[in-house]
Amino acid sequence: MPRLNIGLIGLGRLGRVYARDLAGRIPESRLVAVADNAGTLAKDIAAEFEVPRSYTDAMALIDDPGVDAIVIVTPTDAHREHVLASVSKKKPTFCEKPPALSLAEIATMKRAIEQSGALFQMGFMRRFDAGYAAAKKQIEAGRIGMPLVFKATSRDPFRPSLEYANPASSGGMLLDMGIHDFDLARWFMGDVRSVAAIGATIAYPELATVGDIDNAIASLTFTSGKLGVVDLTRSGIYGYDISTEILGLEGTIRIGYLRETPITIMTKAGGVAHDTVPYFMERFRDAYTNQLQNFAQNVLQEKAPPITIDDGMEALRVGVAATRARETGATVTVADVR
């Protein structure tokens, strides 16, 4: 099996997970270079995972002739720069979601990708989760008939830092947390026509100081006329809870679980108890690996990536629409968001 020589840019928390995946868990990949502008981070990670070359300058990694494909996991505001540089070198490029926080920026990236002809794959790891993938397959096989209603719940188990939550950098809760659900909504149901939303700061009043909310509900009307609803909370204190349902004309399918391990404990004190899922890395660990493996396979086999920059752009557009709807109290037509 040939291996793809990959360079990884961005070594934050998720970046380090990707380094381990690319170096030692994906048979189709070989991690040949890492880059991060923070001190000796790249050097340290290179040492830990036996990566031949490390850079503090992402551009140097992109230029490295031994690097055949690029994985970008830098902060969102750096995505554009790295994607533009990578595709200009015609290197196959993977970029974490969201592509950017402004539609204009994404439009620039889209043009650059199209002009370069480079393979570009957008990251939305939930599509690679065994549960979501199985649901998609069952729906395509007609198991629940025509999909009618999309329902999604996303709950983070604790409050983010005020710095992180600041809508200036996060885009605000409906966008920051909701973008995964809006992508799933489009994946299962097609494009969204309009959005209405309510939201409030009712769990963590301090979030109001930076202008963010902690609970929200968005109602979606799809262009097909079908309906959807997404509810989000930053205060899912009992555990990380990501649940989705697609109700069809012939049945329904639910994705999600609350148990980290297949054990059940019952005691006098605690009734029936399952261990809940701590956070996204426990829930979607395999999905992240599958996603990168899929990217490597697409490059090696010259297959079209299943998730494109358009998917990134449209999910963001729904998120922006939801945010505006929440702020104005009016229903927002997605196509009007530019």
Cβ 309 to a copy of itself, closest distance in Å? Answer: 29
Rounded-to-integer distance, Cα 60 and Cα 43, Å: 14
Kindly tell me which of 74 and 289 has the beta carbon lying closer to a copy of itself: 289
Kindly tell me which of 11 and 87 has the beta carbon lying closer to a copy of itself: 11
Residue 98: asked if its preceding bond is cis (omega within 30°), the reply is yes
Q: Does 141 bind a copy of itself (CB under 8 A)?
A: no
**Taking contact as CB under 8 A, which single stretch among the options 10-18, 19-27, 56-64, 175-183 is the one that binds a copy of itself?**
19-27
Kindly tell me which of 160 and 312 has the beta carbon lying closer to a copy of itself: 160
DSSP per position, 195-212:
EEEEEE--S-GGGGGGT-
Q: Which of 207, 213, 220, 198 is nearest to 315 (CA)?
A: 220
> Is residue 232 within 8 Å of 174, Cβ to Cβ?
yes
**Taking contact as CB under 8 A, which single stretch among the options 18-26, 162-170, 180-188, 306-314 is the one that binds a copy of itself?**
18-26
> Is residue 17 within 8 Å of 288, Cβ to Cβ?
yes
Rounded-to-integer distance, Cα 222 and Cα 205, Å: 33
Kindly report the number of other CB atoms within 10 A of residue 305's CB atom.
Answer: 18
Contact positions with a copy of itself (CB under 8 A) in 211-240: 215-217, 219, 221, 225-229, 231, 233, 235-239
C-alpha distance from residue 243 to each of 34, 219, 246, 256 (Å): 34, 16, 10, 4
**Taking contact as CB under 8 A, which single stretch among the options 89-97, 117-125, 140-148, 309-317 is the one that binds a copy of itself?**
140-148
Q: Does 49 bind a copy of itself (CB under 8 A)?
A: yes
Kindly tell me which of 14 and 247 has the beta carbon lying closer to a copy of itself: 247
> Is residue 277 within 8 Å of 283, Cβ to Cβ?
yes
Q: Does 114 bind a copy of itself (CB under 8 A)?
A: no
**Taking contact as CB under 8 A, which single stretch among the options 7-15, 47-55, 64-72, 118-126 is the one that binds a copy of itself?**
47-55
Q: Does 130 bind a copy of itself (CB under 8 A)?
A: yes
Q: Does 148 bind a copy of itself (CB under 8 A)?
A: yes
**Taking contact as CB under 8 A, which single stretch among the options 133-141, 174-182, 301-309, 316-324 is the one that binds a copy of itself?**
133-141
> DSSP character for 37?
S
Contact positions with a copy of itself (CB under 8 A) in 246-305: 247, 249-268, 270-276
Kindly tell me which of 48 and 327 has the beta carbon lying closer to a copy of itself: 48
Cβ 9 to a copy of itself, closest distance in Å? Answer: 20
Kindly tell me which of 116 and 194 has the beta carbon lying closer to a copy of itself: 194
Q: Does 53 bind a copy of itself (CB under 8 A)?
A: no
Contact positions with a copy of itself (CB under 8 A) in 169-208: 196-200, 202-203
> Is residue 154 within 8 Å of 182, Cβ to Cβ?
no
Kindly tell me which of 108 and 224 has the beta carbon lying closer to a copy of itself: 224
- Residue from 5, 12, 14, 20 that binds a copy of itself (CB under 8 A)? 20
Q: Does 1 bind a copy of itself (CB under 8 A)?
A: yes
Kindly tell me which of 23 and 67 has the beta carbon lying closer to a copy of itself: 23
Rounded-to-integer distance, Cα 62 and Cα 55, Å: 10
Kindly report the number of other CB atoms within 10 A of residue 167's CB atom.
Answer: 17
Per-residue exposure over 62-86, b if at least 16 CB sit within 10 Å of its own CB, e if not: bebeebbbbbbbbebebbbebbbbb
Q: Does 210 bind a copy of itself (CB under 8 A)?
A: no
Rounded-to-integer distance, Cα 180 and Cα 125, Å: 9
Q: Does 88 bind a copy of itself (CB under 8 A)?
A: no
Structure token pair of residue 124: 């939305």
